[in-house]
Chains A and B, each alone.
Chain A
Amino acid sequence: MDPAFLVLQSLSGLASASSLFVIASGLTIVFGVTRIVNFAHGSFYMLGAYIAVTVVPRLLDLSYSPAAFFLGVLISALVVGLIGVAVEVLLLRRIYRVPELFQLLATFGIVLVVEDLVLKVWGPVDLAGPRAPALRHGVEIMGQRFPAYELVLIGVGPLVLGLLWLLMHRTRFGVLIRAATQDRDMVGALGVNQARLFTLTLFLGASLAGLGGALQIPRVPANSHMDLAVITDAFVVTVIGGMGSVPGAFLAALLIGQLQAFGILVFPKATLVLVFALMAVVLVVKPWGLLGRPEAGSGRVLPPEGILALRRFRPPEAALAAVAVAALLALPLLGDAYKVKVATEILIFALAAFSLQFLVGVGGLVSFGHAAYFGLGAYAAGLLVTGPLKAPMALALLAAPLAAGAGAALFGFFIVRLSGIYLAMLTLAFAQIVYAVCFQWVEVTGGDNGVVGVWPAPWAANRTVYFYLVAAVALCAILGLRRMIYAPFGYTLRAARDSATRAEAIGLGVRAHRWLAFTLAGAAAGLAGGLYAFQKGSIDPTLTAIPLSIDLLVMVLVGGIQTVMGPLVGAAFFHALKDAVMPLTEFWRLLLGLAIIATVLAFPRGLAGAADAIRGRMGRAKPAAASA
C-alpha cells in the first residue's frame, strides 16, 4: 500500500483521537470524582457546537482572524461549563447517593430535555459553522493534501492533556480532584467541602465537552443528533482507558482513532463494530480498563433495587387482572382499528418490558441496551420474510427469539463477568454494536432506511386477527417468564443479586445463572421484536437504538421495579401516554425527560425505597401485608 496514504490515514486517525480525547477527558474526570456516569456529557458537547456556531461568526465579523475563531471556541466552552455548574447544583447534587440505575436515567433525562430545547432555540436544520481563518487550506504532506485545521486538531489533544496535567499536578484544585478520585470520603474528613469540589469538577468536565463540540464546527454542522452519537464513543474511550483516568482516556482515544482510520480499510462496513469489540475484549481482560483501578466498595448499605417480596395475586387483584385482560381482548369488538393497533403495540412492549424486568428487577442486572435484543428479533423476522428465503411468518416468529437469544448468549457471556456501572456500560456498548451493524450493513439491512414490506401471513393480515395472535403469543411468553420468577431459577437469580457471596458459599454459580437469565430475557425481547416487525410492516435501526432501551427502562420504573407485574402496567401506561401526547406537543422528549428527573428526585432511594418508606409510615400495624 502507498506509504503516503497510510501516513495520511494515520494522521486523520490522530485528529479524531484528539477530538475524542478532549470530550472523554471531561467525562472521565467527572466520573472519577462524583462516581456518576453522565449521559448529559453528550448534551454538553452538542451545546458547545451550537453555541459556537452562534458566537464564532459574530466574533469573526468583528475581526476575521484565527484568534477571534479560537476565542469564540473558548467562550463557548466556558458557557457550557457554566451550564454544567447549573446541572450539578440543580440535579446531580441531589442524586449522589441514589442507586446507579437512577443516576443514569436522571442524566439521560437531561439529554432529552436538552435535545428539545436545542430544537426550540436553534431549529431543526443542521447549522454549518464557519471555517477557521487561515486554516482553510490543505497542507501538502508526502505529495497529498491534508486539511490544515485537522493538523491543528491533532495538536489540541496533547495540548489539553498537557494543560490538564498541569492543572492536576500544579494546582490545589487539581490535587484535590486526584485525591477525591481515589478516596472522596477521606478528602471530606480532611475538611474539603465535597459539594464545592463537585461543582467545580462539573465546570471543568462540561467545559471540556463544550470545547470538544465547539472545535468540531468546521468539520461537522451542529445538529441535534450529535449528543448520543458522541456519548457512546466517549463512554467507550472512558471505559477502555479506565474510568477516572485521564491518561487512560488519552491512550484509549489514540487506540480507537487508529483502529477506526485503518479498520475502515479492512472492514469498511464494520468500523463501529471494531470499536465496541475492542471495548469488550479490554473489559474481559482488564475489567477496570487499561489504566483504571477496581472500584473501592462504596460502603453504602442499600437494599437491592428490584423485586423484594414475591407476592401472589390476592383474590381482588386476580379479579382485576382478569378484568383487564378480558377488556383488552374485547377491544377489537369495538371496531376501532386505531385502538387495536395501539393495543397490539402495548402487548408487544409489555412483553419486552417484562423481559427487561426479569433482568433488572429479578437478576439485578441493569441493562442499558435491551433494545438490542428486541431489534435482533425484529431484524431476524423481517429479513427472513423479505429476504431471498421469503420465509413464512411462523418460521420468522420462531427465528426471532432464537436469533435474539443467540445474540444475548454471545454478549451475555462477557456481560455477566462484570457488575454495576461497568456492566451497564457493556450492555450499552453491545447494543451499539447491533445498532451499528443494522446501520452500516446497508446491503442486507437496508441501512438507515431499513426494510419495508414485512407483512404478516395472509391469514393473519387482518388487524384483529393479528391482534389476537400477538395477544396469545405475548401473554403465553409473559406467563412463562412469570413462572420462572416463582421457580427455583428465579429465586436463584434473586439470591445472587441479594448476596453473591452467600450464593457462592452455598454452591450456586452466580455467573452461569446470570448468563442463562440474560439469554432467556434476550430471547423474550426478540420474540417481542419479531411481533413488532410484522405489526409495523417494516424494520429500521431505531428498533435497536438507545432511546428504545431507555423507553423500556422507563416502563419498568413507572410500573414499579419492585413488583412482578408492574412493568406490564408501566408499558400500557407509557405507550398509551406517548401515543396520546406525542401528536399534541413538539416537546415530548422534554416532558419525558422532566418526568424521569422528577421521578428520580421524588424517590431518591429508588421506588423500592419509597415503598419501604410508605410501609414504614403505615406503621407496624400490619407487617403481614408486606410479606403476604
Chain B
Amino acid sequence: MAVPLLEVAGLRAAYGRAEVLFGATLSLRRGEVVALMGRNGAGKSTTLRAIMGLLAPTGGTVAFEGRAVTGWEPYRIARLGLGYVPEERRIFTDLTVYENLEVGRKAPTDGRRPWTAETLFSIFPNLAEMRGRRASAMSGGEQQMLTIARTLMGNPHAVLLDEPSEGLAPVIVEQMAEAVLRMKREGIAVLLCEQNLYFASAVSDRAYVIEKGAIRFEGTMAQLEADEGVREAYLTV
C-alpha cells in the first residue's frame, strides 16, 4: 500500500494565542487501528480537531484519500469518508436515539453495503431498546455507543475516535473495544486517542505517543508495551 489513507505532516494548531500543537506528523493506513497516546493536555484531541477541520491548522498539511484537505470545511472532509467521534460526545440531546442516527446518515462513497440503524443496533443492543427515547435520558456509556453509531451511519473509511473508554464502567469499555475491532473487521481505519494503555493495546496495531504538542514515539503497539522508558516519560507520572 503506497499512499496512506490519512497523512498528517507538521500539523500546528492554536486556540487564539495559546499554541497546542507544534508540528505533529502521523499517518493511518487503510484498515488499521492506530493509537495516539498521551496524557491530558498533550494535544491528542486538538490533533483530531485540526485534522477534521474543526480547528483551523496554523501550519502543516492534512491529506485524506490522496487529497489535500487542509483548510477544508468539516462537512467536505466528512463527505470524503472521514468520521469523527468527539471526546465530549456531542450527542443531540433534544433528538431521539433514532434521530441522532438519522443526522449522521450519508450514502457510502464506495460500493460498500451501507450501515443501517438495524445493523448498528445489533452491535449496540442497548441502543435498540431506547431508539425512540430522547438522547438526554441516556447514560454516559449509552451516549458513547450512540456517538460511534452515529458516525458509522455516515459510512466512513476512517474514524477519528477520541477517548472512547474514558469514564466508562468496565463492561462498557469491553463493548467499546469490541466495537473498535468490529470497525477494523469492516475495513474501517481508526485513529484512536487514548490514555488507557490497556485499552489501546487491546485494539491497536500501531501507536504514536504525543507530549507537549509533538510526537515523541512511533512504533508498533508491541514495541510501546515493551518500552518502559517511553511509558515512564510520557504516559505515567
User: Quick check: do A and B touch in the complex, using CB within 8 A?
Assistant: yes
Q: Number of A interface residues, CB 8 Å?
A: 20
With A178-B92, A179-B92, A182-B93 already in contact, the answer to whether A190 and B78 are too (CB < 8 A) is yes
C-alpha gap A124/B86 in the complex (Å): 56
- Taking a contact as CB atoms under 8 Å apart, the answer to whether B15 and A190 are in contact is no
B73 nearest CB neighbor, chain A only: A188
- Taking a contact as CB atoms under 8 Å apart, the answer to whether B15 and A183 are in contact is no
Cross-chain contact of A186 among B15, B86, B105 (Cβ < 8 A): B86
Closest-CB distance, B228 to chain A (whole angstroms):
38
Closest-CB distance, A423 to chain B (whole angstroms):
24
The proximity string for B residues 184-218 relative to A, scoring 1 for CB distances below 8 Å and 0 otherwise, is 00000000000000000000000000000000000
C-alpha gap A169/B94 in the complex (Å): 11
- Taking a contact as CB atoms under 8 Å apart, the answer to whether B79 and A191 are in contact is yes
C-alpha gap A64/B151 in the complex (Å): 54
B97 at the interface (CB under 8 A from A): no
Cross-chain contact of A301 among B15, B74, B95, B103 (Cβ < 8 A): B15
Closest-CB distance, B106 to chain A (whole angstroms):
5
- Taking a contact as CB atoms under 8 Å apart, the answer to whether A182 and B84 are in contact is no
The proximity string for B residues 148-190 relative to A, scoring 1 for CB distances below 8 Å and 0 otherwise, is 0011001000000000000000000000000000000000000
C-alpha gap A549/B86 in the complex (Å): 44
Q: Which residues of A contact B90 (CB under 8 A)?
A: 183, 186
C-alpha gap A181/B95 in the complex (Å): 11
Cross-chain contact of B103 among A176, A185, A193 (Cβ < 8 A): A176
The proximity string for A residues 150-176 relative to B, scoring 1 for CB distances below 8 Å and 0 otherwise, is 000000000000000000010010011
Which residues 181-201 of A sit at the B interface, judged by CB distance below 8 A? 181-183, 185-194
Which residues 1-19 of B sit at the A interface, judged by CB distance below 8 A? 15-16
C-alpha gap A182/B90 in the complex (Å): 9
- Taking a contact as CB atoms under 8 Å apart, the answer to whether A189 and B75 are in contact is yes
Which residues 104-144 of B sit at the A interface, judged by CB distance below 8 A? 104-106
Cross-chain contact of B84 among A179, A189, A301 (Cβ < 8 A): A189
Q: Which residues of A contact B78 (CB under 8 A)?
A: 188-191
B222 at the interface (CB under 8 A from A): no
A176 nearest CB neighbor, chain B only: B103
C-alpha gap A509/B95 in the complex (Å): 39
With A185-B54, A185-B74 already in contact, the answer to whether A191 and B92 are too (CB < 8 A) is no
- Taking a contact as CB atoms under 8 Å apart, the answer to whether B103 and A187 are in contact is yes
- Taking a contact as CB atoms under 8 Å apart, the answer to whether A188 and B74 are in contact is yes
Q: Which residues of A contact B104 (CB under 8 A)?
A: 190-191
B16 nearest CB neighbor, chain A only: A301
Q: Which residues of B contact A186 (CB under 8 A)?
A: 86, 90, 92
With A172-B102, A175-B102, A182-B93 already in contact, the answer to whether A193 and B75 are too (CB < 8 A) is yes
Which residues 33-91 of B sit at the A interface, judged by CB distance below 8 A? 52, 54, 73-75, 78-79, 84, 86, 90
Closest-CB distance, B143 to chain A (whole angstroms):
13
C-alpha gap A185/B52 in the complex (Å): 11
Q: Which residues of B contact A301 (CB under 8 A)?
A: 15-16
Closest-CB distance, A498 to chain B (whole angstroms):
13
Closest-CB distance, A190 to chain B (whole angstroms):
5
Closest-CB distance, A245 to chain B (whole angstroms):
10
With A183-B90, A191-B154 already in contact, the answer to whether A175 and B103 are too (CB < 8 A) is yes
C-alpha gap A183/B74 in the complex (Å): 14
- Taking a contact as CB atoms under 8 Å apart, the answer to whether B103 and A194 are in contact is no
B151 nearest CB neighbor, chain A only: A190
With A178-B94, A185-B54 already in contact, the answer to whether A191 and B75 are too (CB < 8 A) is yes
A181 nearest CB neighbor, chain B only: B94
Closest-CB distance, A412 to chain B (whole angstroms):
31
Q: Which residues of B contact A175 (CB under 8 A)?
A: 95, 99, 102-103
Q: Which residues of A contact B103 (CB under 8 A)?
A: 175-176, 179, 187, 190, 192
Closest-CB distance, B150 to chain A (whole angstroms):
7
C-alpha gap A187/B92 in the complex (Å): 9
Cross-chain contact of A191 among B54, B86, B93, B106 (Cβ < 8 A): B106
Q: Which residues of A contact B105 (CB under 8 A)?
A: 172
Closest-CB distance, A176 to chain B (whole angstroms):
6
C-alpha gap A190/B100 in the complex (Å): 11
B17 nearest CB neighbor, chain A only: A301
Cross-chain contact of A182 among B73, B92, B150 (Cβ < 8 A): B92
Closest-CB distance, A290 to chain B (whole angstroms):
16
Closest-CB distance, B119 to chain A (whole angstroms):
18
Most buried by B among A172, A181, A189: A189
C-alpha gap A182/B103 in the complex (Å): 12
With A190-B103, A190-B104 already in contact, the answer to whether A179 and B154 are too (CB < 8 A) is no
Q: Which residues of B contact A183 (CB under 8 A)?
A: 90, 92
With A190-B103, A191-B106 already in contact, the answer to whether A182 and B94 are too (CB < 8 A) is yes
C-alpha gap A359/B105 in the complex (Å): 47
C-alpha gap A183/B78 in the complex (Å): 16
B79 nearest CB neighbor, chain A only: A191
- Taking a contact as CB atoms under 8 Å apart, the answer to whether A178 and B74 are in contact is no
A174 nearest CB neighbor, chain B only: B99
C-alpha gap A187/B86 in the complex (Å): 12
Q: Which residues of A contact B86 (CB under 8 A)?
A: 186, 189
Most buried by B among A176, A187, A188: A188
C-alpha gap A187/B91 in the complex (Å): 10
- Taking a contact as CB atoms under 8 Å apart, the answer to whether A188 and B75 are in contact is yes
Q: Which residues of A contact B54 (CB under 8 A)?
A: 185, 189
- Taking a contact as CB atoms under 8 Å apart, the answer to whether B75 and A194 are in contact is yes
C-alpha gap A188/B92 in the complex (Å): 13
Closest-CB distance, B133 to chain A (whole angstroms):
14
24 intermolecular pairs with C-beta atoms under 8 Å apart:
A172-B105, A175-B99, A178-B94, A179-B92, A182-B92, A185-B74, A186-B92, A188-B78, A189-B52, A189-B74, A189-B84, A190-B75, A190-B78, A190-B103, A190-B150, A190-B154, A191-B75, A191-B78, A191-B104, A191-B106, A192-B75, A194-B73, A194-B75, A301-B16
Known interface pairs A189-B74, A194-B75; 11 further A-B residue pairs with C-beta atoms within 8 A, sorted by A's residue number: A169-B99, A175-B95, A179-B92, A179-B99, A179-B100, A182-B92, A188-B74, A188-B75, A190-B84, A191-B154, A194-B73
Q: Which B residues have a C-beta under 8 Å from some C-beta of A?
A: 15-16, 52, 54, 73-75, 78-79, 84, 86, 90, 92-95, 99-100, 102-106, 150-151, 154
